[in-house]
């Protein structure tokens, strides 16, 4: 749809996104992309995915410039959640659990949402820490693991550099930290079938939010 630009990558596949919102979908945002979208006529911008380490990240000043120009900027899931938590008091709109966790200080590190992805297909190659945390919580609630193993899994995940974070690596590292081997194995099996993709959930919520914005009378 003319006037609606969404920066999207590994958080959600374009086919699923288009079922919710007709928009101009662009690759993960890098510095300058927000201003370029405004110059090209965007009236609503959805910032979901953005680059962190491959290129210069989206700058706060370009989001503020978009807001001053009257453009609504919605952030969620990944880079968008980070920037929304930092700029919501200045007009950026945040959506989803990851945004709220940053906003409330339950998450503080940028690498919570970082992952390695294929630059051509945007398919995730590693697992973001926010998803691992959500899957660990789900495993607790399902009685798969206990609190001690959950703590060991999260601490192990935090110590692994983000491009190397996989459920296999996390389970193995948790065992090395003294976690229960049987519970670690059960968690790995659980993650294989029931892994929680919190970034995707939040991305879908953001698309629904933008759809409601442009549908409002």
Say what the pLDDT of residue 2 is. Answer: 64
Contacts of 202 (CB under 8 A, 6+ apart): 11, 76, 77, 81, 95, 96, 97, 98, 99
Contacts of 97 (CB under 8 A, 6+ apart): 198, 201, 202
The CA distances from residue 19 to 14, 16, 114, 201, 204, in Å, are 9, 5, 26, 14, 10
List the structure tokens of 109. 């590190």
96 Rama class: left (phi>0) / alpha (psi -120 to 50) / beta: left
What is the pTM assigned to this prediction?
A: 0.94
93-95, strands of its sheet edge to edge: 24-26, 4-7, 44-47, 72-76, 93-95
Say what the pLDDT of residue 1 is. Answer: 53
Say what the pLDDT of residue 55 is. Answer: 78
Per-residue pLDDT of the chain (217 residues; tens, 9 = 90+): 569 999 999 999 999 999 999 999 999 999 999 999 999 999 999 999 999 776 799 999 999 999 999 999 999 999 999 999 999 999 999 999 999 999 999 999 999 999 999 988 999 999 999 999 999 999 999 999 999 999 999 999 999 999 999 999 999 999 888 889 999 999 999 999 999 999 999 999 999 999 999 988 7
Handedness of CA 173, 116, 199, 10 (dihedral sign): negative
């Amino acid at each position: 749809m003319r006037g609606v630009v969404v920066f999207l990558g590994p958080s959600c596949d374009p086919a699923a996104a288009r079922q919710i919102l007709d928009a101009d979908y662009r690759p993960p945002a890098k510095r300058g992309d927000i201003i370029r979208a405004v110059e090209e006529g965007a009236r609503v911008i959805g910032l979901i995915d953005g680059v962190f380490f491959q290129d210069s990240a989206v700058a706060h000043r370009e989001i503020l410039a978009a807001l001053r120009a009257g453009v609504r900027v919605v952030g969620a899931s990944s880079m968008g959640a980070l920037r929304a938590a930092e700029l919501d008091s200045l007009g950026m709109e945040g959506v989803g659990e990851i945004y709220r966790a940053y906003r409330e200080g339950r998450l503080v590190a940028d690498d919570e949402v970082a992952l390695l992805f294929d630059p051509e297909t945007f398919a995730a190659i590693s697992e973001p820490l926010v998803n691992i945390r959500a899957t660990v919580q789900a495993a607790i609630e399902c009685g798969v693991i206990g609190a001690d193993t959950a703590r060991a899994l999260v601490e192990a995940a935090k110590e692994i550099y983000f491009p190397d974070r996989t459920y296999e690596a996390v389970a193995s590292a948790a065992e090395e930290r003294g976690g229960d081997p049987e519970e670690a194995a059960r968690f790995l099996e659980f993650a294989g079938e029931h892994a929680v993709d919190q970034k995707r959930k939040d991305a879908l919520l953001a698309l629904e939010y933008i759809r409601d914005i442009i549908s409002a009378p």
